Amino acid sequence: MKASTLTAMYPPVSEKRFWEAWSSATVFMRRQPGWISCVVPMLFAVLMGWLDFITGWEVSLFIFYALPITLAVWWCGPRGGVAVALVCGASWWVANESSHPYETQLGYAWALVNRLFYFCVVVFAVSAVRTRQDEDAARIRMLEERRQLERDIVSVSEYEQQRIGQDLHDGLCQNLAAIGCAAHALAEDLRARSMGEARDAEMIEESIRQAMMEARDLARGIFPVHVDRGGLSAALGELARMTGRLTGAAIEFHEEADVHLESPGASMHLYRIAQEAVANAVRHGRARNISITLCQDAGALQLRIGDDGAGLYATRAAHGGEGMGLRTMRYRAQVLGARLDLMVRPGGGTSVVCTLPIQSSSSEAHDPA
Which pLDDT tens digit goes with each residue over 69-111?
998 998 888 888 899 999 999 998 998 888 888 888 888 899 8
- The rounded mean pLDDT for the chain is 79
Give the tens place of pLDDT for each residue, 272-299: 889 888 888 888 888 889 999 988 877 7
Residue type present at position 195? M
Please tell me the total count of domains within the chain: 2
263 and 365 co-located in one domain: yes
240 and 141 co-located in one domain: no
pLDDT band at residue 35, thresholds of 50, 70 and 90?
confident
Q: Domain ends where: 146, 177, 200?
A: 146
Q: What is the mean pLDDT of residues 256-271?
A: 77
Q: Domain ends where: 146, 172, 195?
A: 146
Q: Domain ends where: 105, 123, 146?
A: 146
CATH code, 248: 3.30.565.10
Provide the 10 A C-beta neighbour count for residue 98: 9
Nearest to 275 by CA among 308, 309, 238: 238
Helical ranges in 56-104 per DSSP H: 66-76, 78-96
How confident is the model at residue 220, as a pLDDT? 65
The more confident residue out of 13 and 251 is 251
234 and 123 co-located in one domain: no
Q: Is residue 202 part of a domain?
A: no
18: containing domain: 3-146
pLDDT band at residue 316, thresholds of 50, 70 and 90?
low
| Phi, psi (rounded to 5 degrees) for 366 | -85, -10
138 and 273 co-located in one domain: no
| pTM for the structure as a whole | 0.51
The more confident residue out of 124 and 164 is 124
Instruction: Quote the CA–CA distance of 278 and 4 in Å, as a whole number.
Output: 64
Q: Is residue 185 part of a domain?
A: no
133 and 231 co-located in one domain: no
| Phi, psi (rounded to 5 degrees) for 251 | -115, 125
Q: Is residue 82 part of a domain?
A: yes
CA distances in angstroms from 284 to 101, 264, 348, 349, 364, listed in the order given: 86, 30, 14, 11, 31
How confident is the model at residue 248, as a pLDDT? 83
The more confident residue out of 355 and 364 is 355
Q: What is the mean pLDDT of residues 221-236?
A: 65
